[in-house]
Structures are given as structure tokens and as C-alpha cells.
Amino acid sequence: MDKAGLIHEIFEKQSFLCVGLDTDLERIPRFLLDYDDPVYEFNKRIIDATQAHCVAYKPNIAFYESLGSKGWDSLRKTIDYIPANFFTIADAKRGDIGNTSRMYAKTFFETYAFDSITINPYMGADSVQPFLDFKGKWAIILAITSNLGSQDFQHIQENGEKLYQTVVRKSFDWGNDEHIMFVTGATHPKELAEIRALAPKSFFLVPGVGAQGGDLDAVVKSGRNKDIGLLVNSARSIIYASDKEDFAEAAQAEAARLHEQMRAYF
Amino acid sequence: MDKAGLIHEIFEKQSFLCVGLDTDLERIPRFLLDYDDPVYEFNKRIIDATQAHCVAYKPNIAFYESLGSKGWDSLRKTIDYIPANFFTIADAKRGDIGNTSRMYAKTFFETYAFDSITINPYMGADSVQPFLDFKGKWAIILAITSNLGSQDFQHIQENGEKLYQTVVRKSFDWGNDEHIMFVTGATHPKELAEIRALAPKSFFLVPGVGAQGGDLDAVVKSGRNKDIGLLVNSARSIIYASDKEDFAEAAQAEAARLHEQMRAYF
């Protein structure tokens, strides 16, 4: 999906919600374990229940990977099940030397047909470039992350510029807002505003609303642009809203609640 | 494998060679494509041919992942085939928020029984800690990488300390040389020496000898300690020494050549 298509979906639906599919066998309702592929059954019902309220889905690859090859089969069925008008994000935080990043790009853009993948920028230009070489696909580069450990290295400062700012600035040497987004954690609205100043036209993937404590209103005030320019992710607070048979209804209710909050910004 | 065990293997064999299993369906000899699992067939023969000369094997996870669930099956068979007296490294460059890093740790330490995994430190303490919580397992943290892009962010400097130095220094708040190693690219012997000064007792995983142009003698001079303290990885120059039926013999010859060079340091 290209940028214009994404903006169209956001305004059509008056939503910039991304539902995180952090599907954990140990947390899904017990009755699903009777199915052949409990992870896929769970995802299918979550997708059915939430699609009126969101514009994107973000499987967290770690959760699938931890199940071995079976988990990758569940991932494939999930990505095939997501309708074409949703933006899909492989939350994989990959990045390696050029020939290896090319393989990761192939994995998520070809073997699994994701629109985008999250990228860890530590290894620099040639670790990101192979992802940008895929036409029509997106690299979502970590700038400031939502976790506590984001303070350890991302704030290191040289000549008055912090690492997360350097990452954003340099990435414009590699590509543009038509195929690069940034991860900007909801828990850091001040940094989000700084990054918006550096990247006025870019989309940001904003994790951390919900279980991690980020506030939607603060995110929108710090980060929105005329296209909205935000994909706000919520995972656990939606998909684990209930651990009973009614989990899909509970997920829908939580997604609808966030959707309702989002409508106010259009 | 613990540190004493690794040192024992290194001195017993007079080798600190790690063979990188960057097994690419498009580069392996064509006749292997007639087998059910060409990737595993290739790896098995490479392992048979090189095991007299190395102490560690490092599958590059991207290459397996790119083949979908079939690739993960090849990886499992490969890891099961490697004898117990070899140190195994999942070269995966993972790292995410705590609950997600825990899933990655589960993947590589439990679902696949690797001794260690390479970790990208960009997200800080709580992204690394879950890997350190697994007893008897190792986190191999990226410090200075072998690629050109290592110059983009790893040299950013605050108060006279460069990012790769900060990573090494901070990691000692999280753990010690019994379960943390560092990635220090062979292409940067000066930085390798600086990191050795910060981490005198630690093991370093040193990629970049061979196809990437790093020089073994410079690496040893800059980085060795009394335990050797180095695992020098070579992948393409060994496993693709020939693309014909004689590939295993050619791999053996190249591994033997490096082994012979290494013996001189004991």
C-alpha cells in the first residue's frame, strides 16, 4: 500500500489505529487450544472483530517465531487473511549487513507479503538500504522506542543532536516519506514532537498506547500532521481485553473505544 | 556451553574458528537441489568437512527465515546435527521490548537449543535482560559491526565516549563475561583494541574475515587475551569455496588453512 492509499484509508475510516497481533499461546482463551491452529483461529476472530475500527495490523514476529515452523505457518495464514485494504506491518526489528538484510527483506516482502517491516538502525545505511530497494514496500526505522531502555543509548548526544534525531536526519539520505516511517514511542511525547519537526511529512508508527501507558491525546497533539501521519498501535489492551469466550467482542469494544477517541481528530 | 568449556575446546583444538552457515539456496551446488532438504544436506556436509578445524557454528538466521517454515525446519535439523562440543550461535540480531525479547530468547534458547544469540542493543537494558535471564546461555551484543554503515551511528560520541564503547561499558551493569560477548568486526582492528581495553576478560565474536576483507593477524594482535577471547567467523569464503560437487573438500581446505594460521597463536 502506498502513502496516498494509506491516507485514503485513514480519512475514509476516521481511524489511525493499528492492532498489534502479539498472539501468545499462553494468553489466548483456553477453548481455542482445541483447534488445529489456535494462533490463527485467535487472529482470525480478532481481525473479524476489529476491522471496522482500524487501518493496520501488526503481527509481532517474535510470538510466531517462538513456536518454530508451526508459528510461521500461522503467520502466513494470518497475513493471507488480512484484507488488502489494510496496511500490514511485520514487527521484526531486523537489520544486518547488506547481503543479510536483503534476505530479511525477501522474507517479509516476498515470502510473506507484508507492506512494511520495522528496522533497527544500529548498523547504519547498508543495513537499511536493502529494505528500501523493494518497490512499493516500507521500512519503519526505530527512532525513539516506548520502553524504559530507550534512555540507555537513544539519547546519546553529539553536537547537540541526540541519536534518535541523527537516525531520522540520516535516513533522509537513504529515502523519503513515501517508503520510510519511524517508530516513535507513545510514552515519549516530547521526543515525538522533536521528530515531527525533523520529519514533517513522514508517517510514525506509535506503539505504547494501552498496556505500556502511553496517552493517545498527548501523542496526537505532539505528532499529528495534516495527513494525521500516525499509526497508533495497541496490542495487549485490545487482543487480551478478555481471556474468556467473549474475547472477540471485548476486543471489538476496546478497538471501538479507541476509534471513537480518534474520530474527534478528524 | 559455559566459558570454561569454550576455552577448553579452543585450546584442545588450537582453533578459534567459527564457521558461518549463511546457506543460500541460490549459491549452493545445483546437484543438492534434488534432495528433499537441500539446505540441510549442504550444512551437514559442511559440518562434516569443517569440524576438525573449528569450535563454533553460526547459522545466519535470515537465510533460513527467507524460506518460510521449511527454512526453520532446515535450521532445526542443522542445530540437531551439530555435535555437543561445538558452541552454537544464532546470528539473529534480535532485540525488542521486554515481553517480546523474552519470546525471542525462548525461540533461540528453547525452541531451538542454541548456546547464544546475537543482540542489537539499540533498545537498551530491558531489551537485552530477557536473554541474560536464561541460565547457561549467552547474549552476544553488537558493539562495532564489520559493515560500512557501522560509521553512521556507532561512532557517535558523548563526553569522549563513542556509542560502541558506551554499549560495552553499560552492558557490564547487566551481566558479565560469563554470559555476555560482543560483536567486534574484523574490519576495525583499532576499535577492537579499544573494546578489549574495556572488556579484558570477555569473548568477542569477530565477523568479517574472508569475504568482507578483515585480516586475521590484525584481529589477533588487537583483540586476543590470555584465553584467546576471540571467535573469528568466516562464512562465504569457506562454505562457497567451490560451487561444484567438491564444495565440501574445498570448504575443508579453506577451514584447514585458517586453522593452520590460528595454531601459530597458541
Fold classified for B3-263: TIM Barrel (3.20.20)
The predicted model scores a pTM of 0.97
Contacting residues of A for B167, CB less than 8 Å apart: 153
Task: Give the integer Cα–Cα distance in Å for A179 and A139.
Answer: 6
**Position A150 pLDDT exceeds 90:** yes
Residue B18: closest CA among B149, B143, B186, B213: B186
Q: pLDDT at position A212, please?
A: 76
Q: Is the pLDDT score of A97 beyond 80?
A: yes
- B138 within 8 A of B186, measured Cβ to Cβ: no
Query: pLDDT tens digits, residue range A10-55?
Result: 999 999 999 999 999 999 999 999 999 999 999 999 999 999 999 9
Interface of A with B in 9-38 (CB under 8 A): 22, 24
CB atoms within 10 A of CB B160: 6
CA–CA distance, B166 with B158 (Å, rounded to integer): 9
Intervals of chain B under pLDDT 70: none
Q: What is the pLDDT of residue B246?
A: 97
A120 touches chain B (CB under 8 A): yes
Instruction: Give B238-255 pLDDT, tens digit per residue.
Output: 999 999 999 999 999 999
Residue B67: its chain A contacts at CB < 8 A?
111
The per-residue pLDDT for A210 is 77
d(CA A110, CA A99): 16
pLDDT of amino acid A208: 85
DSSP class of A32: G
Catalytic positions of A, written as ranges: 93
Residue B123 has a pLDDT of: 98
Chains A, B: CB pairs < 8 Å:
180
Looking at residue A148, its pLDDT comes to: 94
SS3 sequence, B53-81? CCCEEEEEHHHHHCCCHHHHHHHHHHHHH
% of chain A surpassing 90 pLDDT: 97
Q: What is the pLDDT averaged over residues A114-127? A: 98
The answer to whether A148 faces chain B, any CB pair under 8 Å, is yes
Instruction: Tell if the CB–CB gap between A100 and B60 is shorter than 8 Å.
Output: yes
All three cell numbers of A234:
495497541
Report the gap between the CA of B8 and the closest CA in chain A (Å): 31
Q: What is the predicted pLDDT for the residue at B209? A: 87
Residues 225-264 of B with CB under 8 A from A: none
Q: Average pLDDT for residues A120-125, to the nearest whole number?
A: 98
Any idea where the domains of chain A sit in the sequence? 3-263
Dump pLDDT digits (tens) for A196-253.
999 999 999 999 887 777 899 999 999 999 999 999 999 999 999 999 999 999 999 9
pLDDT band at A126 (very low <50, low <70, confident <90, very high): very high
Cβ–Cβ of B122/A154 closer than 8 Å?
yes
Query: Are the beta carbons of A122 and B122 separated by less than 8 Å?
Result: yes
Q: What is the ipTM of this complex?
A: 0.96
Which pLDDT score is estimated for B214? 80
Chain position carrying cell 521449511: B70
Q: Is B62 in the A-facing interface, judged by CB distances under 8 Å?
A: yes
Cross-chain residue pair B67–A111, CB shorter than 8 Å: yes
Segment 178-197 of chain A within 8 Å of chain B by CB: none
Q: Provide the percentage of residues in chain A whose pLDDT is more than 70.
A: 100
Q: In this predicted structure, what is the pLDDT of residue B208? A: 86
Query: Distance between CA atoms of B206 and B184, rounded to whole angstroms?
Result: 5
CA gap B203, B219 in Å, rounded: 13
8 Å CB contact of A156 and B156: yes
Chain A contact for B149, CB < 8 A? yes
